[in-house]
Every structure is written in structure tokens, then in C-alpha cells.
Structure 1
Amino acid sequence: MFEYCAEPKTLEGLTWLSCYLTTPKHMEFYYSFITVMALLVVAAPAALAFGFGGAMASRSHFAPVRWLGKLYTAMVRGIPDIVFFLFFVIALDQGLEWLTHQIRCPDWTEPVRQGLEFRVCPAAKVPPNNASPFVHQAYAFALAVLTFAIVFGAFAANVLKGAMDAVPRAQIETAEAYGMSPRQTFRRILVPQMWTYALPGLSNLWLILIKATPLLFLLGIQDVVYWAREMGASKSARFDYPHGDWRLYYFLALLVFYLTLTRVSEIALSRLSRRLSHGQATRAGETLRKDAA
């Protein structure tokens, strides 16, 4: 990055370190932090949407929909995350390619499944082989977001269903007595009040989601843990910036990053909890009333 970095062999001290920390590989390492944050920003609302849908399905009066909602939460919650990540991504990727293959290559005579290999026509590759690296990265990121959303959405569904059930029945009956329709009662009474009961569980899910981001590596995305291991490994004299085993320092940097992110999340969630508990007939709401008095 700097002009004086043209001859790494002649550098020493802080000058050497400044050049070492600004190599293209380190830029990719720094970019991976943005990737992790982007995943959290996109996957959390997506998981909440899946969870809300699963909770509504589990509470449905229509039996098939209720069974589907319960099956979704039970199946995903009962499968280890790493197994689901590996199976679902491969199955979804091959399913998309198989559908594209049926549409674009109807005259293909060779079997798609050949032993342990899965082969489709070149035009059915998703994304295409000649696509730019950005398209491949965006596709992998989209698969990651969908997978995280489905997995953590199942846990969120259980939390949200419990929160909906925790809203006092008297609140619902009062709304009905005032002539509100079931849809109005749901939108104006049930949903606004359930967040107070759901926030503790959703807060834990958010922290677990933060800790689960290293699973990105399983989906073909070079995340912060991958680069910390790669950059911190021993580099011999044949490299421009040789060094010993520095993985300890790189992983200490990740430790600081995740602890800082967790602490900031705890502060934000605590303030949100106080805001949602204000005026509520809960223990937290009673505490706020006593403090104000």
C-alpha cells in the first residue's frame, strides 16, 4: 500500500509491520469482519421472519398448518447445526442445478447422478462457471443467510410462540369485548405485548448467532476465523513478510472483536428491554415503576 513497501526485505521495525498489516491478504482479512457484520444484519431479521411465521403456524387453528409449524421447529431444533449446514446447503445447491438442468438442457442424455458425482450440463451451473468472483461470493452469502435464517428461525419460533402464550388472556378478552376483530386483536394487543416476554429469549439467540458466525467457513465463505488461522500460521523465508506462528495474536484479536460485539449487544438489548417493559404488568415493568416513584 505504501511506496516504501516495494522492498520488504529491507524493512525493519514499525515500517515492516505497517507494510505487513496492509498486504492484500490482510485487506481480505479486514473485509471478512464486514462480511460477518453483514451476515448478522441480514440474517437476524430473516431469522425473526422465519420465527414469526413458524410461531403463527404452530398456533394455527388449521391442523395441517399447525403440524407443519411444529414439524419445522422440532426438526430443525433437533438436528445439530453443523449437520444441517452441510446437508441443507448441498441439497439446495444441487436442487437448484437440477431444476435449471431440466429447463435448459431437456435433451441431455447422460444421468445427472453418476455414482458419487453430480453432473449437470454447463448451462445449468448455479452460478455459471464464467460468472465473476463477486457473483460466486454473493451466491454463497445468500445461501449462508438462508441457512442461518432457517436454523435460528426455528428457535425464534419457539420463543415467539411462548411469548404469545404468555400475554394475559384478559388482555385478549378485553379487546374482544370492545368489538375488535381477531386480526385487530392480534395486531394491536397480542403482538405489541409479546415482545416484552420474547426479548430475553431473542437476546440469547442473538448472542448465539454471533458465536455461530464461524460456521460461514463450512459454506465456502472465508470468514475471520479462516483468515486468522491462515495469516497467523508460520511463514518461512520464501515469503515477503516471514514470521513465526502468530496465530495466538490473531485469535486474541478475534477474542477482543467478539467480546466487544457481545458487550455492545448486551447494552443495546438492556436498553431495549427497559423501553419495552415500561408500563407493562411484568416484574421488569414493576421495577421501573418503583424506580420512578
Structure 2
Amino acid sequence: MFEFCVEPDTLGRIQWLSCYLTTGKHMNFYWSFLTVLVLLAITAPTALLFGFGGASAARSAFAPLRWFGKAYIAIVRGVPDIAFFLFFVIALDQLFEYIRHRIKCPDWEEPIRQGNDFIVCAAAKLPLGNAPQWVHETYGFFLAVLTFAIVFGAFAANVLYGAMQAVPRAQLETAEAYGMSRRQVFRRILVPQMWLYALPGLSNLWMILIKATPLLFLLGVEDIVYWARELGGSINERFTDYPHGDWRIWYFLGLLVFYLAFTRVSEIAFDRLTMRLTHGQATIGGEAMRKAAT
């Protein structure tokens, strides 16, 4: 990046470090922080949407839908996260390719499953073999986001289901007494009231989601953990102009600071959101606010 970086061997320590920290690989390392933030920004609302659907299904009066909602919550929560992450990435990829295969290659006569191999026609591959690299990376990131959303959506569904159950039944019965339909009670009374009960659980789930982002490394996405390991390991002068010893402790220390700072900012945001939602509510938190004000 700097003009004086042409001859690294002649540089002083500060200049050498400034050149080292602005190499192309380090730019990828810095960009990977944005990858993590984008993952969280997309996954959190998507998982919340999955969770709301799962919680609503678990409360449904229609038995098959209720069984589906409760099964979704129980199965995903009962399996280790890493197993689901590795399973869903493969399963979703094959599902998408199978659907495309049926649409684009209806005359295909060979079996798709051939032993341990999953074989579809070339037109059904995702992404296509001649697609540029950014398409492959975007598709991998999309599968990772969808997998995160499905897994953490089950945990969110459990939290929201409990929050819906915590809303005082008397409020729902009062709304029904005023002539509201079941849907109106759900939309106007239950859903607005449940968020305050759900917020502590959702805040914990958000923290867990933050801590789970290094699993991107296992899903083939070049995230901050991948680059910290690659850049921090011992590098010989045969392979780079900036050789160094094992610096992984410093790179992972940087990740530690990043995650702790991000967690602290999240705690402050959730505290303020809790205060905002508690204001005026007929709950223990709302009563505490009223007593503090007087």
C-alpha cells in the first residue's frame, strides 16, 4: 500500500509493521470482520422469523401444525450445534440441486444416488462450474446464513413460546370478552405483550449467536478465525516478504478483544431496549420503574 514497502528488508520496525499490516491477506482479514457483522445482521432477524413461526405453530389449535412446531424445537435443540451445521450445509445444497435437477434435466435416466455419490446434471449444479469465484463464495455464505437461521430459530422459538405462555391469561380473556377474534387477540394483545418476557432469553441467544460465528470457519467461509490462524502461524521467508514466527496468540488476542467489545455493546443495547419496553407495562419490571421514579 505504501511506496516504501518495495524493499521490506530495508525497513525499520514501524515501517515494516505498517507494510505487513496492509498486505492483501490482511485486507481479507479486515474484510472478514465485516463478513461476521453481515452474518449477524442477516441471521438474527431471519432466526427470529423462524422462531416466531415455530412458536406460533407450537401453540396452534391445529394438531399436525402443533406437532410440527414442537418437533422442530425439540429436534434442533436436542442435537449438538456443530452436527446440525455440518449436516444442514450438505443437506440444503443437495436439496437445491435436486430441485434444479428435476426442473432442468427431466430426461435424466441415471440414478442421482450412486453409492455414496450425489450426481446431478451439470445444469443443476449450484453454483455452476464456470461461475466466478465471488458467486461460489456468496452461495457458501448464503447456505451458512440459512443454516444459522434454522438452528438458532429453534432456540428462538422455544424462548418465544415460553414468553407467549407467560402473558397473563386474564388479559387474553378480557380481550375476548370485548369481542376480539382469536387472531385479533394474538396480534393486538399477545404479541405486543410477549416481547418483554422474551427479551432476556433473546438477549442470551444473541450472545450465543455471536460466540457461534467462528463456526463459519468449519463451513468453508473464510472468516476472522480462518485468517487469524493463517496470518498468525509461522511464515518462512521462502513464501513471503514478511516472515515472522508464531504470532497466533496476538491475532487471537485481537479476536478476544473484538468479541468482548461487541458483547459489551450488545449488553448496553439490550439494557436500553428492556427499559424502553418495560415503561408503562403492568409487569414486575414496570412496577420497579414506577417505584424508582417516585
TM-superposed deviation, 1:216: 0.7
Alignment partner, residue 228 of structure 1: 228
Alignment partner, residue 289 of structure 1: 290
Alignment partner, residue 256 of structure 2: 255
Alignment partner, residue 135 of structure 1: 135
TM-superposed deviation, 1:105: 2.8
Distance of 2:181 and 2:158 partners within structure 1: 26
Q: SS of 1:31's equivalent?
A: helix
- CA offsets per residue over residues 140-170 of structure 1, 9 Å max, x none? 1111111111101101111101101111111
Q: SS of 1:242's equivalent?
A: coil
Distance of 1:176 and 1:140 partners within structure 2: 48
What TM-score do the two structures reach when normalised by structure 2? 0.96
TM-superposed deviation, 1:110: 4.1
Distance of 1:106 and 1:174 partners within structure 2: 57
How do residues 138-287 of structure 1 correspond to structure 2 at under 5 angstroms?
138-238=138-238, 239-287=240-288
Distance of 1:105 and 1:6 partners within structure 2: 54
Distance of 1:27 and 1:73 partners within structure 2: 40
What TM-score do the two structures reach when normalised by structure 1? 0.97
Q: Aligned residues, how many?
A: 293
Distance of 1:4 and 1:260 partners within structure 2: 34
Tell me, yes or no, if structure 1 residue 54 matches structure 2 residue 54. yes
What letter corresponds to residue 268 of structure 1 in structure 2?
Answer: A
**How large is the RMSD of aligned CA atoms in angstroms?**
1.2
Distance of 2:18 and 2:109 partners within structure 1: 58
What letter corresponds to residue 223 of structure 2 in structure 1?
Answer: D
- CA offsets per residue over residues 88-115 of structure 1, 9 Å max, x none? 1111111222222233233444443333
Distance of 1:149 and 1:27 partners within structure 2: 28
The runs of at least 4 consecutive aligned structure 1 residues that moved more than 6 Å come to none
Unmatched segments (≥5 aa) in structure 2:
none
Unmatched segments (≥5 aa) in structure 1:
none
TM-superposed deviation, 1:10: 2.0
TM-superposed deviation, 1:251: 0.3
Alignment partner, residue 87 of structure 1: 87
- CA offsets per residue over residues 267-290 of structure 1, 9 Å max, x none? 000110111111222221111111
- CA offsets per residue over residues 47-87 of structure 1, 9 Å max, x none? 00000000000000000000010111011111111111111
